[in-house]
Structure 1
């Protein structure tokens, strides 16, 4: 028998579908208006900003600027995007995928199942791991999975404030199919949790096994947020190893006239930065009504006008500080610090176990990793430091490359130049951001002209 609650939900769903059919989401790809970037313009339902940004970053596009505004029951946005080489989008297949993904018929979570960051349930088993980070932990995890006859087809690993979070996708070594036997999954979970606990993490180590579909980046943010990595006291230790010049700056102000909370973020620019901040605001139950995002050279500036889902602004100093700390954590989790090592080789069972064991034996600590397979090829990226979080000596890297194979393991140091650190340059860019933002918000009626 159908309950009143479920009947009400179905009516609301049908009403939403009707509204979408009457006012379908619109998207256009404009290569003519800007010399340096392709403009993607869209109008969608409220609350879909994260999904839009997710589509763009999963297509490996770089968002250089973004202007976002709500209007009644819809929000409109303009994204200035380029490809990974900094060029405008010339590939018709990419532009068609953008239009299909953001179009009226396919704009739902289900339609995003083929995007890069989402792993479908039917092909493999998902394992979520979180615990205290330590040198060699990733090597131990991969060794356990290899010993249990599991093939690792993809994985992403983040470390932040002495915590490690990872989503690993596995199949059966012999059949290549997902693992669904209850006893075997229980054994995998038990042994991995034993590894995570080590000698110091008896309480907070967690292992979860799922057959469901997930967006890896968003899930990692949720895992670390639930783990409260943003307020751990051992963050002080990690901060010592970081350069103060690239520390994110987050400020929160109350706009009483309109009832908004205004969030300003200045940080080092990097891929997927916009997704990480929007993802965190969404998971904290805030809605973005207006936003301006500008990235120039090595820095990025973001400004958000937000409210809580119940329509209220940030109301206390405690909530304000929590918002600041959570956004700082969101920016720092997807760290690009350390030396970037790229591993490209024929995939084989035990490859990751062997490679990370060599890292461990040579005193390397993995602070972030992206593991993927394309056909028969393993395409893996590791960000490494020494065991103390310091830069790795070149002699150690050469020894590691000699053991793994110089043609297989390549070095790509992504430590960006700290240029643009001159006060004049920073002031000019800040003025540019403020000017563009105020011009945009003036047009929306949020800023009155000065007398």
Structure 2
């Protein structure tokens, strides 16, 4: 087919003279890959490997899709032990080796259905887990200087204002704390909608966070976002506020720093990460790269004993590699911060019991009065039950008495609904509980906590 501004006769004459004709392009060519294949295909393979489930995802490539897929898997409490990622070009192909939190294959039909629904052709990658919260709760985002007993003070403010904590997540890193708290009105069990009341609660929370001379920031959230992503963003703002260079020895917990290198290889910058493995590690590293506007073209994740080894072939979204030392340093710092924010090498205390207004306030008060600092926390409720998980340490720096804790768990655990373990063991619950040296009695604390829960 010939094209141009000539008449039909002139075009025929030109064709006879051997003139070059314009090629014909199908106007639907750009969507050919999507018409041949669905937008996303996911398969769950429990036959290939004897000790894990393979989740295979094929999809048309788009910015941020790797983070969205990893987010779905981690939101379902799946542990990624290996991964092979390729998205160079217009197609995205991933294979993830996953297990449940106990190290078993994923065989539960409901979980498999959730994976297929979330990652399939009609899945909604960004909203998994948010539907249950949207419209039912009022969410507060908080950021300020960390100090012992701060969570107890925050909880007390909410209790005094007749708010029930339905869910919460708290992170601390170096000198800063960030938390997202979902509350309901104690009288109606619905959202707190009165603007004047909300403004008063927010002002009180800001005063608590500010303390005597600290800075603080609070916000009431109307459009809920993914909690882990948002906590990373809040912590990034905190670091930008000036605590990024606080030395590790100034912090309560001494945590081994991850080994991170960046080198250029052909058309990519190669990022290598080696650190102690833990749940959600892949999510945290992929999030950091995505937030720093880095596109991942190829990647692999593997295990080396207790360590995770990750390799990412990246470029900036503008197509450039990391050609300067400043650019490489920025990526290294961003990855290190994202990894360390969720590390809590301390004791994990889980308490479950009947949900009621003021429960979180009472539990955190007992922890504070007995000289324990909450380094990280997660609160969930449902069906009239509350499950509170606290990562705690002694404010004086002494190790917690794990021997007393284990003795109490063995004798009364079935009746009292509590579980205590070292943080490293909680990361891999299928491993035997590790004990440490003892110098701090925990028996009286558990007795008070259990009397509150029941």
> Is the shorter-chain TM-score for this pair beyond 0.5, marking a shared fold?
yes
Aligned mate of 1:46, from 44, 62, 84? 62
CA 50–152 in structure 1, closer or farther in 2 if over 3 Å, else same: same
Aligned mate of 1:392, from 377, 400, 421? 400
Q: Distance in 2 between matches of 1:67 and 1:271?
A: 18
Aligned mate of 2:261, from 247, 251, 257? 251
Unaligned runs of 5+ in 1: 1-13, 418-451
Task: Assess if the C-alpha contact under 8 Å between 2:202 and 2:218 holds in 1.
Answer: yes
Q: Compute the displacement of 1:310 (Å).
A: 1.1
Task: Assess if the C-alpha contact under 8 Å between 1:46 and 1:70 holds in 2.
Answer: no
What does residue 209 of structure 1 align with? 220
Q: Distance in 2 between matches of 1:150 and 1:189?
A: 12
Task: Assess if the C-alpha contact under 8 Å between 1:125 and 1:209 holds in 2.
Answer: yes
Q: Distance in 1 between matches of 2:34 and 2:311?
A: 29
Q: Does 1:74 align with 2:82?
A: no
Q: Compute the displacement of 1:253 (Å).
A: 1.0
Aligned mate of 2:129, from 114, 139, 144? 114
Q: Distance in 1 between matches of 2:212 and 2:159?
A: 23
CA 168–124 in structure 1, closer or farther in 2 if over 3 Å, else same: same
Q: Distance in 2 between matches of 1:21 and 1:166?
A: 44
Q: Distance in 1 between matches of 2:147 and 2:404?
A: 19
When Rg is computed on C-alpha atoms for both structures, the one with the higher figure is: 2
Task: Assess if the C-alpha contact under 8 Å between 2:374 and 2:390 holds in 1.
Answer: yes
What does residue 232 of structure 1 align with? 244
Q: Does 1:410 align with 2:410?
A: no
Aligned mate of 1:184, from 177, 182, 197? 197
The aligned runs of 1:369-384 (5 Å cut-off) are 369-384=377-392
Offset from partner CA, 1:145-170 (integer Å, 9 cap, x none): 10011110000000001100000001
What secondary structure sits across from 1:349 in the alignment? coil
C-alpha root-mean-square deviation of aligned residues, in Å? 2.8
What does residue 103 of structure 2 align with? 86
Unaligned runs of 5+ in 2: 1-27, 427-454
What secondary structure sits across from 1:278 in the alignment? helix
Q: Compute the displacement of 1:104 (Å).
A: 0.7
What does residue 142 of structure 2 align with? 129
Q: Distance in 1 between matches of 2:393 and 2:36?
A: 54
Q: Compute the displacement of 1:410 (Å).
A: 2.9
Q: Distance in 1 between matches of 2:252 and 2:358?
A: 35
Aligned mate of 1:361, from 352, 364, 369? 369
Q: Compute the displacement of 1:391 (Å).
A: 2.3
The aligned runs of 1:135-284 (5 Å cut-off) are 135-201=148-214, 204-228=215-239, 232-238=244-250, 241-243=253-255, 246-255=256-265, 257-258=266-267, 260-284=268-292
What secondary structure sits across from 2:416 in the alignment? coil
Q: Compute the displacement of 1:240 (Å).
A: 7.4
Offset from partner CA, 1:213-268 (integer Å, 9 cap, x none): 2111111011111222696232333467415xx4211111112x22x111110000
Offset from partner CA, 1:95-153 (integer Å, 9 cap, x none): 121111101112442xx3436xx763211011100111000000000000100111100
